Structure 1
């Protein structure tokens, strides 16, 4: 049996990746005492190791390959002739991620967030790619790192790499640093893969800085582990195909736009085509409150409605493989946008004003004059926050097909 071993790892995508490759693979969540017994018993063929055992596992090994030994971190163990051999396939995965996304490292200054096992792997990768200065930052001062308070005086970094759990599901809204302080920043790498885009990645993209999450790294290291486990050869095209498949499987598609733009109808059709779940923010609010949207606005006010809307958006943002129809005003709150972008591709359903219509059930667009005013007030915001814009002025099939084509190019 081949497994992933760690603690509190129910969020991992590793099993899905191996199963897509056709291998029997499982996840085993172990406390430290159970982990020690597991390693002593050696009842496995091959394992991947994750937090918090990437360094602790070393004492159980008979042999380490050169990279693992140099870094002092092991995340893959192969049993061969009753000997345990340790490897660091995270090194391969991170190097693949950097090179695939054409992040220039030569002579660049690199800031690594964190001082744990993954930070050691990251430092080795960037050293081998000939980075200039590599600095680690931690919550507490050590001889090998600075603290986050020290960042005010050291801002000349070209690349920032997050190797901490900050921003990982379910605490997806967290970020350790303010990227606007770094005036020379060219790229951000976050090894977290759940959500697909952490707040750190989203913040970088807002500043037009190249930024990538960790799913590509996870897939690449899984292929390198599979090569060791099953003695099979894979190429970069195999890795990319598997990565694209995982993205499609995990990605949400979030439809934004004006009331009566057709978001709900389009979302239902997309969900059928893509075999994804369907959620409608307004429908969930009505169902939970037992009131229509007009009644909520009348009796409780718009602020209360927006609070309900934000709460539900945060809940839905933790889902994967879902088509979400958002309310017309959802994107007015930038935090809502960030939550939705974590796992989602935001598609602006741009229906021309002359094809929209006033509805009494929609208190803010109940008249033609109000509808036109809201349209003009929001239009640029819809465009600014969206990843894709599709014009909905013809058939349902046409707009759905346009969105399907756009999704293929999303990552």
Structure 2
């Protein structure tokens, strides 16, 4: 940034007031000239935006390009340097104005008025009464999506009641209140909040007939469980359905006869759908695959690739710049094409595609020992085959800076876990999944791309879908706290010791007596592995479950591990074979470093009054994580 060098002159010493007036007049001339230049530049920018929009409409192309806008913000931030915060604020205002000029954000002014009215009309503390405890995760997701960070928050599990407060002068977003009440949440202080929010956000449009909800969805062969419906529900108000088409012969019929406004496309149709598109985006053409379809006004299809933006976000999250470096991509399918295109665009010196039968295969990985970035674009390691890894020994890549895995279930594959052990940065595919969905939603005209909203959705998915493991000494209260957490979060609860007794058909002391500790650990390991394959489960482990490395890996790869701690003098020993045989002090000395290494979070129960308080504390920590 240019700086004016200020020195003290003879005139300033003799008459400071006169000198100041002279400087003010001179610098105000510069400011006026700068303002005129800015206005001229803005006028030229808006004219260019209008010309591009008109050209796109004539060609039947989507007008709004979310990826372009996201890239613009990144470029402005880089160019602005220390002026980045002010520059980004200015550019966001200009892009919002451009969207309104193009008719892409018709609800903007109504939303502004709604926020202003809400600021003066709503109290700073609201009580949220949930219809059942299972709604807690949904409510916290809604708060996160609307970027609501309460100044204070409490949760009464027994009454299913949450109170949230904001600082004086802050506003409650009407859309957030509307989302809460739509989920059956009652807000006693604001019985009419849903009606008010609807009136504020719809404005004059309420007098017109309501438009039909956009019809969107996911197209693939076998979809099974998918995060996509939940992600799109958080992104905007439109339908999102799963469409399974069993074979390619049925694809044309589906695309012609099924009513939809937009579709995501997954395995194995990303290449096949291209033949059915009237137009393709430059990204889709360059990559050679389509993962997003847009129904144009004339009924024909436009194909785009939003995986490009999703994988770019993954690379940025890793913190590794591929420019000038060797990158190794595992797999040669449709996902691999996107990865290769992005890495080349980001300036990678060399991108090596490894396949089972190609010139570069899994038997000669050592040829690429200079690789700085490794990307898994294969399904190896995906649930339920969580013990598999495409690379058995990462030491063949001694210069690795980061490992990226497009798989997001499990949250941490064996490949990522192995990289983490070596101190290598890791990123799973959830970021890519959320970002590509958000960009697709923008292409359909359903919601504007918002990086903060993407981050909030990603965090909410991690909270709601990953397992929650409780570890700690025998008798610390894992079963009691786990049961309370399961009830409060609306999640299934598994007591590993109870499961072991069920499988063995006898109490744990009897297992120790008849099969010994080794026999018990075998049953325990199988129970832990089975529990790790669940989704969103609260699991109370036995005191020694962490002793086996395979158990620890299964816990950390499938969710969050919470170490509950309590004063050793308060731990019961009756009915606990090892506590009785060794004593809790010796047992703790052996296990303390293992608990610490396994845990993501540590909770000192000595500082909290009762199991309910411990459970509430854990929930609070998870919400902030």
Alignment correspondent of 1:282: 497
Match of 2:364 among 150, 157, 164: 150
CA–CA distance in 1 between the matches of 2:366 and 2:568?
48
Does 2:317 align with 1:87?
A: no
CA–CA distance in 2 between the matches of 1:77 and 1:285?
49
Match of 1:382 among 582, 589, 595: 595
Q: Is the 8 A contact 1:173 1:339 kept in 2?
A: no
Match of 1:113 among 310, 323, 330: 330
Alignment correspondent of 1:134: 351
Match of 1:164 among 378, 389, 410: 378
Q: More deviation in 295-304 or 51-60?
A: 295-304
Give 1:399 shift: 3.4
Q: Is the 8 A contact 2:366 2:397 kept in 1?
A: no
Give 1:165 shift: 0.4
Q: More deviation in 328-337 or 18-27?
A: 18-27
Which structure 1 segments of 5+ residues have no match? none
Alignment correspondent of 1:26: 241
Match of 2:467 among 244, 252, 259: 252
Does 2:225 align with 1:11?
A: yes
CA–CA distance in 2 between the matches of 1:350 and 1:118?
44
Alignment correspondent of 1:54: 270
Q: Which has the larger radius of gyration?
A: 2
Q: Which has the higher helix share?
A: 2
- SS where residue 260 of structure 2 aligns? coil
TM-score, normalised with respect to structure 1 = 0.93
Q: More deviation in 181-190 or 264-273?
A: 264-273
Q: More deviation in 31-40 or 48-57?
A: 31-40
CA–CA distance in 1 between the matches of 2:320 and 2:495?
38
Q: Is the 8 A contact 2:329 2:336 kept in 1?
A: yes
Alignment correspondent of 2:71: none
Alignment correspondent of 2:189: none
Q: Is the 8 A contact 1:40 1:60 kept in 2?
A: no
Q: More deviation in 41-50 or 86-95?
A: 41-50
Match of 2:387 among 173, 185, 192: 173
Distance 1:255 1:96, change over 3 A: same
Alignment correspondent of 1:400: 615
Give 1:398 shift: 4.6
Match of 1:372 among 585, 605, 608: 585
- SS where residue 159 of structure 1 aligns? strand
CA–CA distance in 2 between the matches of 1:109 and 1:92?
21
Which structure 2 segments of 5+ residues have no match? 1-214
Question: Map of 1:180-259 to 2, 5 A cutoff?
Answer: 180-259=395-474
CA–CA distance in 1 between the matches of 2:553 and 2:245?
33
Question: Map of 1:272-311 to 2, 5 A cutoff?
Answer: 272-311=487-526
Give 1:380 shift: 0.6
Give 1:121 shift: 0.1
CA–CA distance in 2 between the matches of 1:249 and 1:35?
34
Alignment correspondent of 2:339: 122
Does 2:548 align with 1:333?
A: yes
CA–CA distance in 1 between the matches of 2:287 and 2:458?
26
Give 1:39 shift: 2.8
Distance 1:43 1:210, change over 3 A: same
Alignment correspondent of 2:216: 2
CA–CA distance in 2 between the matches of 1:20 and 1:276?
20
CA–CA distance in 2 between the matches of 1:23 and 1:297?
56
CA–CA distance in 1 between the matches of 2:614 and 2:394?
36
Does 2:329 align with 1:102?
A: no
Match of 2:576 among 352, 362, 366: 362
1:80-129 per-residue CA deviation (whole Å, 9 max, x = no partner) reads 12111100011111112222443332222211111111011001111111
Distance 1:401 1:107, change over 3 A: farther
- SS where residue 363 of structure 2 aligns? helix
Provide the aligned length of Structure 1 versus Structure 2: 405
Q: More deviation in 253-262 or 26-35?
A: 26-35
1:225-263 per-residue CA deviation (whole Å, 9 max, x = no partner) reads 111113531211111111111111112110111111111
- SS where residue 208 of structure 1 aligns? coil
Q: Is the 8 A contact 1:62 1:85 kept in 2?
A: yes
CA–CA distance in 1 between the matches of 2:583 and 2:367?
50
Q: Is the 8 A contact 1:7 1:31 kept in 2?
A: yes
Q: Is the 8 A contact 2:238 2:446 kept in 1?
A: no
CA–CA distance in 1 between the matches of 2:271 and 2:355?
18
- SS where residue 366 of structure 1 aligns? helix
- SS where residue 169 of structure 1 aligns? coil
Q: Is the 8 A contact 2:317 2:427 kept in 1?
A: no
Runs of 4+ in 1 over 4 A off after TM superposition: none
Give 1:291 shift: 0.9
- SS where residue 166 of structure 1 aligns? coil
Give 1:153 shift: 3.3
Q: Is the 8 A contact 1:46 1:77 kept in 2?
A: yes
Distance 1:108 1:352, change over 3 A: farther
Give 1:267 shift: 1.3
